[in-house]
Amino acid sequence: MIAAAILIALILLVSWLYGRAAIHGLGRLFNATGEKDIRPSIVILIGFCALIFIGQLFSLVMPLGLAAILIVAAGGIAIAWLLNRSSGLKIASIARLPALGWSLFVLVGLAVLENSTHVPANPDTGIYHAQAIHWLEVYPAVPGLGNLHTRLAFNSSWLALNALFSFSFLGLRSFHLVSAALTLTAGIDFARGAMEWYRGQATIANILRTIFLPLVFFVLGSQLSSPGTDLPVILTLWIGLTAWLDALPEVKGNNSLREIILFAIVVTLVTVKLSAAPVLFLAAWIGLRNLKNPGTVLKLAGLAGVILLPWIVRNIILSGYLIYPLPGIDWFNFDWKIPQEVARTEVLTIQAWARDPGSAVEEVLAKPFLSWLQLWFIEKTANQKLIVLGAAVSPVIFALGLAIGHQAKKLGQERLANLVSGFLTVLLGAVYWLFTAPDIRFGYGFLLALTGMAVLPWTALMDIHAGASAKIFRSILMVGLIAYQLFFLVQSFEAQSIGQRLVLPVDYPQLPSEPCLVGESQAWCAAPEAWTQCWYEPFPCIPTLNDWAETRGEDWRDGFRPK
């Protein structure tokens, strides 16, 4: 835990510094003001985006090891020096928080620290996340790596960030604490929003933050110890939504710095996981709001292109496709390109597995929509059914709340525009999720955001009309949040492993594996009892051998290709 606390603090400090630099740069590029109004969570989030870009760029030409982190550290020191010269290093203070606020903040921090040191629980981390990070730590982008194991071509930029901050060169282990750093950022931001509501700032953004706070740990508590790609999509979406609503009282039209930052964040989010693609609706909305300023629109398009460029180049190197696994976008003919039929099968397999795990792909995909949907719903747990049903009725609840709030003149046109655009973004995301890969784990971010936004107008109206009893309601709510965080911490505490975790977090599991040949080179394959999971060691390890792949040279760095 000691090492975890130090490394999480280091990750957040570096991200905050790069975030400040990115915000300053975007402000100058777009001639936008309002840098002092950006919440610390957004500063850290845009810092993550900047470091993701740097990590992907570095990974094209070098391993993400000691040299890479030294360059990043040197950049951070330079940024700190420049900031100190220009305006001083000012970090938001929480010293004046009341006892309730301190209690909530401490419980959030302890919950993150406890759960981030557990054994990684995300099954996909065992299948390919950990191995993908290992490849990033040891080699630059390897041509045709997806031929060795197709999941290694998924190219989540989140894994590059994890590799950058894994500190594997220390020889202790490959740390995986970036998810914990992001969760702490979200948890503190949402707890701060709850405190602001408690103290009378009953904005819609703060109400939504209060709703999201317990959901962070309810849905993602077990994922804090894994470098999985679902957690960053969910938390970035939720932080971004609340920041989008924060702009409501002061929509500034063209060149709003807050909007430009959010534009960069949502474009970066697509490089984390393709299932986040619907958030581009929000980016398009921002572009439309600036149509009267063609220069700003061109700059936004250029910014998106720069953000996506290293990710696209990595896609081409790893798979031979512009975006994998989308075989329809087939512009190249490199010798390492994954066969089209393999890429097509990958898409269909993911879709079928998300609908009905374990059944034959052809059988699942042949079922009519209502047929597989009914079976899919029946197999969900009671909690999952409630989440799905809440999301299903949310458009009606949201529309009624908006109508009543607008009629009561509590919502202006600009407020309605941001609320509606935010709601439409998550609604589009839920529909996209349902028709592509409806694994409940992939959809939590959109589904819970739908329900949370649906009750926003109603909660705001209740708070407005509560009068003197509003303070009592908010106090009960704060006590309830503290009670839940305490319950979660106690429930998730692993007393039996505390001695093992006191200094260092638990390492990746190591399961049985067997030697197997890839061309003339020896690799490792997961043993039958490992259920396709390789985790981090041995390396390189794949769940099963692809008999259609071979090496392109004598070294792993030369890459892989179809026979």
Taking only the tens of pLDDT, the chain with its 563 residues reads 999 999 999 999 999 999 999 999 999 999 887 777 899 999 999 999 999 999 999 999 999 999 999 999 999 999 999 988 887 566 555 556 678 888 999 999 999 999 999 999 898 999 999 999 999 999 999 999 999 999 999 999 999 999 999 999 999 999 999 999 999 999 999 999 999 999 888 888 999 999 999 999 999 999 999 999 999 999 999 999 999 998 644 444 446 899 999 999 999 999 999 999 999 999 999 999 888 889 999 999 999 999 999 999 999 999 999 999 888 888 888 999 999 999 999 999 999 999 999 899 999 999 999 999 999 999 999 999 999 999 999 999 999 988 887 655 555 555 677 889 999 999 999 999 999 999 999 999 999 999 999 998 888 788 777 777 888 888 999 999 999 999 999 999 999 999 999 999 999 999 999 999 998 889 999 999 998 999 999 999 999 998 889 999 989 999 999 98
Angle at CA of residue 527, ends 525 and 528, nearest 5°: 130
Q: Is 327 helix (H, G, I), strand (E, B) or coil?
A: coil
Cα 168 from chain centre: 22
> Is residue 94 situated within a structural domain?
yes
Sign of CA dihedral 74, 79, 82, 87: negative
The answer to whether the beta carbons of residues 30 and 255 sit under 8 Å apart is yes
The answer to whether the beta carbons of residues 112 and 181 sit under 8 Å apart is no
Structural domain boundaries, residue 533: 513-562
Q: Supply the Cα-derived Rg of the chain in whole angstroms.
A: 24
Omega prior to 540 cis, within 30 of 0: yes
> Is residue 504 situated within a structural domain?
no
Q: Is 524 helix (H, G, I), strand (E, B) or coil?
A: strand
Q: Is 523 helix (H, G, I), strand (E, B) or coil?
A: strand
pLDDT at 109: 97
Q: Are residues 190 and 274 in the same domain?
A: yes
Of 338, 370, 386, the residue that ends a domain is: 338
User: CA-to-CA distance for 126 and 128, rounded, in angstroms?
Assistant: 6
> Is residue 498 situated within a structural domain?
no
* Phi and psi based region of residue 559 (left: phi greater than 0; alpha: psi -120 to 50; beta: remaining): left
The answer to whether the beta carbons of residues 233 and 445 sit under 8 Å apart is yes
The answer to whether the beta carbons of residues 221 and 488 sit under 8 Å apart is yes
> Is residue 216 situated within a structural domain?
yes
pLDDT at 448: 97
pLDDT at 252: 46
> Is residue 494 situated within a structural domain?
no
pLDDT at 385: 97
Of 283, 310, 338, the residue that ends a domain is: 338
* Phi and psi based region of residue 155 (left: phi greater than 0; alpha: psi -120 to 50; beta: remaining): left
pLDDT at 409: 58
Q: Are residues 411 and 446 in the same domain?
A: yes
The answer to whether the beta carbons of residues 508 and 536 sit under 8 Å apart is yes
* Phi and psi based region of residue 334 (left: phi greater than 0; alpha: psi -120 to 50; beta: remaining): beta
User: CA-to-CA distance for 485 and 26, rounded, in angstroms?
Assistant: 37
Q: Which tokens is 505 given?
A: 């977090």
Q: Are residues 106 and 133 in the same domain?
A: yes
Of 269, 304, 338, the residue that ends a domain is: 338
Q: Are residues 102 and 210 in the same domain?
A: yes
Q: Are residues 282 and 365 in the same domain?
A: no
pTM, two decimal places: 0.94
pLDDT at 292: 87
Q: Are residues 153 and 40 in the same domain?
A: yes
Helix segments in 149-293, DSSP class H: 157-164, 178-198, 204-220, 230-246, 257-272, 280-289
Q: Are residues 329 and 293 in the same domain?
A: yes
Q: Are residues 415 and 330 in the same domain?
A: no
Return all residues near 375 (Cβ < 8 A) that are at least 6 apart: 356, 367
Q: Are residues 363 and 318 in the same domain?
A: no
Q: Which tokens is 397 given?
A: 């609840």
The answer to whether the beta carbons of residues 268 and 52 sit under 8 Å apart is yes
> Is residue 86 situated within a structural domain?
yes
Q: Are residues 59 and 122 in the same domain?
A: yes
Q: Are residues 391 and 365 in the same domain?
A: yes
Angle at CA of residue 253, ends 248 and 254, nearest 5°: 140
Q: Are residues 357 and 431 in the same domain?
A: yes
Give the number of domains in the chain.
3
> Is residue 215 situated within a structural domain?
yes
> Is residue 344 situated within a structural domain?
no
